[in-house]
C-alpha cells in the first residue's frame, strides 16, 4: 500500500478500532518506533507476580513515598524540609509519571503534561510559597500574578495556538458568535471564585460538583452544536472526558481560573514539558532518597508504622520496607491489590492516554504554533504541540501528539506494541494533513508513551473527596491528583504538601 492509499484508508480507522485485536499490517518504515509502557509489569499484580528471590532482612526508612510523579517528588522535598528522611519508590524506569519526558540525542520532549499558566494572587498560599521557595515562581505586583522565573520558556502570544477543523485553520475552535459572548460573560462572573487548590473553593459553590457541565450550560444559555464541539474538545484535552461527563464545577473552573478568552494569560511550556518540574524536585533529592523500577505490591499498617512489600524487577528481588509513615502518591486503582481496604475510598474513573512523539528533520517552512488543536473523524486524536514554538529554530523538530481514549479501550492498550508502526504512520498522516504536506520523509524516530490510568476524570461528584479525611488516624496519607483533585500540576503539588502536613 502506498502512502496516499494509506492516508485515505487511515482516515477511516479510529485508534480504538486500531487497538482491538491483532497486529495490523503496516508498510515497512524508514524510521524507528519505540514504545514506552509499564503495562506488562503493572499487570503482573493482576495476573501473578514473578517468582523473584526473597530478601529476608527488612529495610528501614522514616517516610516511604510510593510513586515518583509530581506529587511523590514534592512530598519527598516537603518531608526533607520537615527534617525527616524520605524514600521514593517508583514503578517506572524513570521519574515523572504523567509529567515525564524522553529524548532524541540532545533534544528533550514531553511524554505527558506540558504546560502551566501564571497563577493569580488568590490561589493557595502554602503552595505558592513552596513554589516560590523552590525558586520556580515570583510575584509580579503590576499584574498581580505569580509568574515563572525562567522567562525563556514563556510562549509568546502570536504563536500560542491554532485550530484545525474540517481541513481549515482558525484561531479558535469556538468561533465568535452571540452565544460565545454569553458564554464568556457567564464564565467571567465566576472569576476570582475558582481558586486552586480546589479544596479552597467556597462550599456555597459545591452544588456545581453535583451536575454536569453540559446540564449547567444548557440551562443557563443553551448549547449549540459548534459550542459543544469546542467545549467537548477542551474538556477532553484537560480532563479526559467531554462536557456531559465532567462536572459543572470542573468546567467553570477551567474557564474562570484561566480567562484566556478575555485576557492575556502567561503560558509556561519548556520543551521537556512539566518534567522541567520533575527534574527540579528530583535535583533536591539524594541518590539514596529515590529508587526507580521498584513496584510497591503491598502496604499494611503495623505497630511500627507501615510495612511495604516491593518488587525490584531489574534485580529480580522481592523485599520489605518498614516505614514509620507512608505517603501513597501512586495511582489509586492499584490499591485493590496493595491495600484492598483503602481501595474503597477511591471510586473515580480514569482516562487512558497515549502520547506519540514524532521527531523530524526540520525542513518544514511553516513556523510552528504551540498548541495545534485538531478535530478529525477519530475523536480520540487531540492534535499536537510543536517544539518549533518552544525553542530557537533548530535542525530537529518534535511534534507531541495526544490521544485520549475511552475507558473501555484501556484493555486494548496491550496491543500498542504490536501495532506501533501503524499507530506511528497514522499519527504522521494526521500531522501531514494539518500541514498540507507529507512529512513522512522527514521523520527520524517515533516514540510512543502508553498510560492506561493517566488521569482522574473530574466527573459529577468527584471533587472534594479527600480520602485522608476518612482515615484521620492512619499512618498512611494519600497524595496525587487522583485524591479528589483536578488533574493539574498545582493540585498535584498541593495534594503532596497537605499530605505531608497531616503526617
Ligand atoms: C497526557 C496528559 C497531559 C497532561 N497535561 C497536563 C498539563 O499540561 N498541565 C498540567 O498541569 N497537568 C497536566 N496533566 C495532568 C498531570 O497528570 C498532573 O499535572 C500531574 O503530573 C499528576 O501527578 P501525580 O504525581 O499526581 O500522578 P502521576 O503522574 O500519575 O504519578 C503517579 C506515579 O506513581 C507510579 N506508580 C503507580 N503504581 C505504583 C506502584 N505500585 N509502585 C510504585 N510506583 C507506582 C507511576 O508510575 C507514576 O509515576 C496531564 C496528564 C496527562 C495524562
Does residue 99's CB lie within 6 angstroms of at least one atom of ligand 1?
yes
How much is the pLDDT for 23?
Answer: 64
- 333 and 365 in a common domain: no
Integer Cα distance of 127 and 124 in angstroms? 6
In a domain, 124, yes or no: no
Question: SS3 letters for 376-431?
Answer: CCCCCEEEEEEHHHCCCCCCEEEEEEEEECCHHHHHHHHHCCCCHHHHHHHHHHHH
* Residue 266 resides in a domain: no
Cβ-in-10-Å burial (0-12, 13-18, 19+) of 157 comes to exposed
Q: Which domain holds residue 416?
A: 3-30+350-456
In the structure, what pLDDT confidence band is assigned to residue 18 with cuts at 50, 70 and 90?
confident
CA distances 319 to 91, 311, 500, Å, are 14, 7, 25
Task: Say if 463 falls within a structural domain.
Answer: yes
Q: Which of 237, 260, 283 marks a domain boundary?
A: 260
| 122 within domain boundaries | no
Q: What pLDDT is stored for residue 12 in this prediction?
A: 53
d(CA 309, CA 356): 34
User: Is 353 near ligand 1, meaning CB less than 6 Å away?
Assistant: yes
Q: How far apart are CA 458 and CA 209, in angstroms?
A: 9
Separation of alpha carbons 234 and 263, rounded Å = 18
Q: For 42-70, how does the pLDDT look when each residue is reduced to its tens digit (9 = 90+)?
A: 778 777 888 899 999 999 999 999 999 99
Q: Are strands 267-268 and 290-291 parallel, antiparallel or unpaired?
A: unpaired
Please tell me the residue having the least CA distance from ligand 1 atom 5: 113
Same domain for 415 and 286: no
Give dist(CA 346, CA 333) in Å, integer: 8
- Check pocket membership of 111 for ligand 1, CB cut-off 6 A: no
Q: Is residue 9's pLDDT more than 50?
A: no
C-alpha 436 – ligand 1 centre gap (Å): 34
Q: Which residue has the least CA distance to atom 12 on ligand 1? A: 488
Q: CA-CA distance, 359 to 104, in Å (whole number)?
A: 8
One domain for residues 444 and 420: yes
**Which of 25-34, 365-374, 408-417 is the least confident region?**
25-34
Please indicate, yes or no, whether residues 381 and 472 belong to a single structural domain of this protein.
no
Model confidence pLDDT, tens digit, residues 163-182: 998 788 988 888 889 999 99
Q: In what order do the strands lie in the sheet with 168-170?
A: 32-36, 443-456, 350-361, 396-404, 381-386, 371-375, 161-165, 168-170
**Is a pLDDT exceeding 80 seen at residue 160?**
yes
Tell me the C-alpha distance between 232 and 237, whole Å.
8
Residue 169 CA, ligand 1 centroid: distance in Å: 32
Is any ligand 1 atom within 6 A of the Cβ of residue 113? Answer: yes
Whether 217 and 164 map to the same domain: the answer is yes
CATH number at residue 481: 3.50.50.60
**Same domain, yes or no, for 256 and 282?**
no
- The reported pLDDT for the residue numbered 261 is 72
Cβ atoms of 466 and 99 within 8 Å: the answer is no
Q: How far apart are the first and last CA of the chain?
A: 60
Is the separation of the CB atoms in 432 and 389 below 8 Å? no
Q: Output the CA 488–ligand 1 centroid distance in Å.
A: 9
Residue ranges in 240-285 assigned as alpha helix (H): 248-256, 275-283
Residue nearest to atom 4 of ligand 1 (CA): 113
Q: Which CATH number do you get for residue 255?
A: 3.90.660.10
Nearest CA to ligand 1 atom 7: 113
pLDDT classification of 1: cutoffs 50, 70, 90: very low
User: Does the pLDDT of residue 263 top 80, yes or no?
Assistant: no
Sort strands 107-110 and 101-104 into parallel, antiparallel or unpaired: antiparallel
Query: Whose CA is closest to 454, among 211, 237, 194, 161?
Result: 237
Predicted confidence band of residue 346 (pLDDT cuts 50, 70, 90)? very high
Q: Structurally, how many domains does the chain consist of?
A: 3
In a domain, 105, yes or no: yes
Q: Ligand 1 within 6 A of 330 CB?
A: yes
For residues 446 and 485, membership in a common domain is answered with no
The pLDDT score that the predictor gives to residue 3 is 54
- Substitution site in 101, 331, 483, 498 for ligand 1 pocket (most atoms within 8 Å of beta carbon): 331
Question: Is residue 270 in contact with ligand 1, taking CB distance under 6 Å?
Answer: no
pLDDT(27) > 80: no
The helix (run of H) or strand (run of E) holding residue 6 is: helix 3-10
Residue 189 CA, ligand 1 centroid: distance in Å: 31
Distance 10 CA to ligand 1 centre (A): 30
CA distance 394 to 107: 10
| Residue 466 and residue 452 share a domain | no
CB-CB contact of 272 with 112 (8 Å): no
Name the residue among 153, 105, 34, 101 with its Cα closest to residue 395. Answer: 105
pLDDT tens by residue, 223-238: 999 999 999 999 999 9
In a domain, 37, yes or no: no
pLDDT band at 21 (very low <50, low <70, confident <90, very high): low
pLDDT of residue 22: 64
pLDDT mean across residues, the chain: 93
pLDDT at 24 over 80: no
Shared-domain flag, residues 471 and 424: no
- Return the ∠ at Cα 52 (arms to 48 and 56), rounded to 5°: 120
**Is residue 144, in this structure, part of any structural domain at all?**
no
* CA–CA distance, 255 with 190 (Å, rounded to integer): 9
| pLDDT value for 126 | 96
pLDDT of residue 40: 79
CB atoms within 10 A of CB 414: 15
pTM for the full predicted model: 0.96
399 vs 26, more confident: 399
Among candidates 364, 493, 498, which has minimal Cα distance to 431?
A: 364
**pLDDT of 173:** 85
Q: In terms of domains, do 243 and 291 share one?
A: no
Per the domain annotation, does 131 fall within a domain? no
Task: Over range 454-471, report the average pLDDT.
Answer: 97
Same structural domain, 355 and 446: yes
Q: Within this chain, do residues 320 and 356 fall inside the same structural domain, yes or no? A: no
Amino acid at each position: 500500500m502506498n502512502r496516499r492509499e494509506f492516508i485515505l484508508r487511515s482516515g477511516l480507522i479510529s485508534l480504538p478500532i486500531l487497538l482491538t485485536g491483532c497486529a495490523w499490517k503496516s508498510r515497512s518504515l524508514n524510521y524507528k518506533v519505540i514504545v514506552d509502557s509499564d503495562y506488562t509489569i503493572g499487570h503482573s499484580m493482576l495476573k501473578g507476580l514473578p517468582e523473584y528471590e526473597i530478601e529476608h532482612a527488612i529495610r528501614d526508612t522514616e517516610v516511604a513515598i510510593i510513586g515518583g510523579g509530581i506529587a511523590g517528588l514534592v512530598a519527598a522535598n516537603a518531608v526533607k524540609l520537615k527534617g525527616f528522611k524520605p524514600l521514593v519508590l517508583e514503578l517506572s524506569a524513570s521519574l515523572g509519571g504523567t509529567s515525564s519526558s524522553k529524548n532524541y540525542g540532545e533534544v528533550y520532549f514531553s511524554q505527558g503534561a506540558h504546560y502551566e499558566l501564571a497563577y493569580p494572587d488568590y490561589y493557595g498560599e502554602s503552595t505558592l510559597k513552596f513554589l516560590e521557595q523552590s525558586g520556580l515562581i515570583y510575584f509580579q505586583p503590576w499584574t498581580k500574578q505569580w509568574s515563572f522565573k525562567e522567562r525563556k520558556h514563556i510562549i509568546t502570544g502570536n504563536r500560542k495556538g491554532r485550530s484545525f477543523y474540517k481541513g481549515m485553520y482558525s484561531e479558535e475552535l469556538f468561533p465568535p458568535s452571540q452565544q460565545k459572548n454569553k458564554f464568556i460573560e457567564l464564565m467571567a462572573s465566576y472569576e476570582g471564585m475558582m481558586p486552586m487548590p480546589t479544596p479552597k473553593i467556597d462550599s456555597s459553590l459545591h452544588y456545581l460538583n453535583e451536575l454536569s457541565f453540559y446540564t449547567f450550560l444548557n440551562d443557563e444559555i443553551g448549547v449549540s452544536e459548534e459550542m459543544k464541539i469546542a467545549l467537548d474538545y477542551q474538556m477532553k484535552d484537560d480532563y479526559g472526558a467531554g462536557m456531559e461527563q465532567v462536572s459543572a464545577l470542573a468546567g467553570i473552573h477551567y474557564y474562570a481560573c484561566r480567562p484566556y478568552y478575555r485576557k492575556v494569560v502567561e503560558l509556561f511550556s519548556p520543551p521537556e514539558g512539566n518534567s522541567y518540574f520533575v527534574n527540579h524536585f528530583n535535583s533536591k533529592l539524594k541518590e539514596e532518597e529515590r529508587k526507580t523500577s521498584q513496584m510497591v505490591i503491598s502496604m499494611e499498617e503495623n505497630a511500627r508504622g507501615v510495612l511495604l512489600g516491593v518488587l525490584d524487577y531489574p534485580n529480580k528481588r522481592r523485599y520489605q520496607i518498614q516505614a514509620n509513615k507512608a505517603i501513597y502518591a501512586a495511582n489509586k486503582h492499584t490499591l485493590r491489590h496493595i491495600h484492598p481496604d483503602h481501595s474503597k475510598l477511591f471510586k473515580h474513573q480514569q482516562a487512558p492516554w497515549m502520547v506519540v512523539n514524532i521527531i523530524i528533520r526540520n525542513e518544514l517552512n511553516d513556523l510552528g504554533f504551540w498548541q495545534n488543536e485538531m478535530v478529525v473523524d477519530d475523536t480520540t486524536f487531540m492534535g499536537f504541540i510543536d517544539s518549533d514554538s518552544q525553542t530557537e529554530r533548530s535542525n530537529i523538530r518534535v511534534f507531541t501528539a495526544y490521544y485520549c481514549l475511552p475507558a473501555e479501550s484501556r484493555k486494548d492498550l496491550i496491543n500498542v506494541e504490536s501495532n506501533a508502526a501503524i499507530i506511528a504512520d497514522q499519527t504522521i498522516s494526521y500531522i501531514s494533513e494539518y500541514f498540507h504536506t507529507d512529512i513522512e520523509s522527514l521523520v527520524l524516530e517515533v516514540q510512543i508513551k502508553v498510560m492506561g490510568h493517566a488521569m482522574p476524570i473530574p466527573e459529577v461528584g468527584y471533587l472534594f473527596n479527600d480520602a485522608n479525611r476518612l482515615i484521620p488516624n492512619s499512618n498512611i496519607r494519600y497524595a496525587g491528583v487522583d485524591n479528589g483533585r483536578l488533574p493539574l500540576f498545582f493540585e498535584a503539588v498541593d495534594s503532596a504538601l497537605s499530605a505531608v502536613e497531616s503526617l
